[in-house]
Structure 1
Amino acid sequence: MAARLEAVAFDVADPSAVGAFWAGILGREVVDERDGVLVPGDEFQVGFRFTASHGEQIGRPWLHLHLASTDPDDQARIVEAALSRGAHYLDVGQEPDAPHVVLSDPGGNELCVLEPGNNWMSGTGFVGEVTCDGTRDVGFFWRDALGWLLVWDEGDQTAIQSPVGGTKISWDSWHRPGTESRNARNRQRFELVAADPSREAERLVQLGASRRAELSDGVMLADPDGNAFRLRSVP
């Protein structure tokens, strides 16, 4: 059985505050952990983990989140709810009349509240997409790693989605060449769980991953683009 994506993890200065923000926006619970908090997802919607880190962010984040809205009032409500919980507007060079709204959560993580009627978000649920800076080939790697479906393959862009639907993960080359600080621990990363991490790590290496470090409960690897991700045993 392929590894399961448990969460997208973010290193932040105040995990409790950022976790509370996302739990409030998404209507989920917060689970306290040793070095941070988990906002659990399910087979349809991705979960989020926020881990304590006081290191300075180097370069622009390599992924951000897209939230779906159902109509203009819903989009405005989502934005207002985010702002009231500590988000702020973020200028990333978008046009003044852009239909989506770009925000930063209390931990400095970028998110976009997309406009209603965006067909790409159809059937994804509220957390519509995790969009990443990456190559076309890394999308194929993650398709095979997770056992998900390839739902987009055009030019440099790829996207995958669980067979049950829900949150999509997409890749496009935003600001390459160069891998910036990807030889270090990623401030943002995927976290996977498997019944047998050792055996699953071998499979992932055969798919193109590389080993970074052995952990007490699993292993840190890197995908073919050099992005670190953690694989550990099922809790």
Structure 2
Amino acid sequence: MVLENINVQARDPQRTGEFWACALGLVDAGMSEPDLFEGRLELGDFWLDLCIERVPDPPPPSWRLHLDLLGGDAEEQAAVVERLLGLGATRADIGQGDVPWVVLADPDGNAFCVMDQRPAYRNTGPIAALPLDSADPERDGAFYAALTGWVPAQGIGPVSLRHPSLRGPLLELCPEPEPKIRQNRTHLDVRPEPGGPDQAGLVELALSLGATRATEDWAQGQPWVVLRDPSGNELCVLSDPGTP
């Protein structure tokens, strides 16, 4: 199994996708269409796709899963912020107060952070981390390690995972400030790999580790299976390789 996509909802996926393509240096993943933008972040031994899907009326922005971009020292961070503002980002106040990182929002209102300099952010590429709110970081860290093959790594949160190459972003399991109350606008997609569990097997593994199936109408009738992790965060299990 492999962590394949970071999936973001937006009213205008092409405009939002163009912003992120420039912000992150994404290459064309060959999957874009009017209602979907898909750009690929090449990370040496592996890649991650940023998928932005059209949702006419997405839920309010949620910070439970978001992107922390690589910044650096004060001068480097300021330069990254100015470049992103020039691409169409806006400054955002989500109640962060006096913090060393800078909170911005993409053209569709999805908040993200430009981080300060930290030793853990070595060889991450432009996305330093993917912070994910969790009711139990140790439990959810074990859950995502089993589903993605990512391994424990030194990070900022109480539990951090990373691709086995120790390159690319950190998946940070962070204590949630409050229980999840609505659908996340950003979620992760995992896909089965040859030689491992197929889609059905991966779904059963997730369920055995505390996931639940999403029962809403919007989650039905797709080639992927929509689950919620043990803390309620949406997660999709994609179809087997070679199938639509």
TM-score (norm 1): 0.85
Match of 1:7, SS? strand
**Does the Cα contact within 8 Å between 1:6 and 1:41 map onto a contact in 2?**
no
Q: How does 1:7-46 map to 2 (within 5 A)?
A: 7-30=5-28, 31=30, 32-33=32-33, 35-42=35-42, 43-44=45-46, 46=48
Letter in 2 for 1:62: R
Q: How does 1:1-235 map to 2 (within 5 A)?
A: 3-30=1-28, 31=30, 32-33=32-33, 35-42=35-42, 43-44=45-46, 46-58=48-60, 60-96=62-98, 98-116=99-117, 118-135=118-135, 136=137, 137-151=139-153, 157-165=158-166, 166-176=168-178, 178-182=179-183, 186-195=184-193, 196-212=198-214, 215-233=221-239, 234=241
Letter in 1 for 2:159: T
**Does the Cα contact within 8 Å between 1:57 and 1:187 map onto a contact in 2?**
yes
Tell me, in whole angstroms, the C-alpha distance in 2 between the residues paired with 1:35 and 1:131.
26
Count the aligned residue pairs. Answer: 226
Tell me, in whole angstroms, the C-alpha distance in 2 between the residues paired with 1:216 and 1:60.
24
Judging changes above 3 Å, is the alpha-carbon distance between structure 1 residues 59 and 75 closer, same or farther for their aligned structure 2 residues?
Answer: closer
CA apart distance, 1:120? 2.4
**Does the Cα contact within 8 Å between 1:7 and 1:40 map onto a contact in 2?**
no
Match of 1:60, SS? coil
Letter in 2 for 1:120: A
Judging changes above 3 Å, is the alpha-carbon distance between structure 1 residues 17 and 5 closer, same or farther for their aligned structure 2 residues?
Answer: same
Q: Deviations over 1:7-33 (max 9, x none)?
A: 111111110011100100111124414
Tell me, in whole angstroms, the C-alpha distance in 2 between the residues paired with 1:107 and 1:86.
10
**Does the Cα contact within 8 Å between 1:139 and 1:171 map onto a contact in 2?**
yes
Q: Which runs of 5+ in 1 are unaligned?
A: none
**Does the Cα contact within 8 Å between 2:132 and 2:172 map onto a contact in 1?**
yes
Tell me, in whole angstroms, the C-alpha distance in 1 between the residues paired with 2:200 and 2:120.
36
Judging changes above 3 Å, is the alpha-carbon distance between structure 1 residues 162 and 11 closer, same or farther for their aligned structure 2 residues?
Answer: same
Tell me, in whole angstroms, the C-alpha distance in 1 between the residues paired with 2:130 and 2:68.
6
Letter in 2 for 1:224: P
Tell me, in whole angstroms, the C-alpha distance in 2 between the residues paired with 1:110 and 1:144.
28
Q: Which runs of 5+ in 2 are unaligned?
A: none
Judging changes above 3 Å, is the alpha-carbon distance between structure 1 residues 206 and 34 closer, same or farther for their aligned structure 2 residues?
Answer: farther
Match of 1:199, SS? helix
Letter in 1 for 2:133: D
Tell me, in whole angstroms, the C-alpha distance in 1 between the residues paired with 2:114 and 2:122.
14
Q: Deviations over 1:12-69 (max 9, x none)?
A: 1110011100100111124414631112234555431101012242473311211113
**Does the Cα contact within 8 Å between 1:19 and 1:39 map onto a contact in 2?**
yes
**Does the Cα contact within 8 Å between 1:13 and 1:52 map onto a contact in 2?**
yes
Judging changes above 3 Å, is the alpha-carbon distance between structure 1 residues 88 and 199 closer, same or farther for their aligned structure 2 residues?
Answer: same
Tell me, in whole angstroms, the C-alpha distance in 2 between the residues paired with 1:150 and 1:171.
11
CA apart distance, 1:181? 1.6
Letter in 2 for 1:12: A
Tell me, in whole angstroms, the C-alpha distance in 2 between the residues paired with 1:44 and 1:192.
14
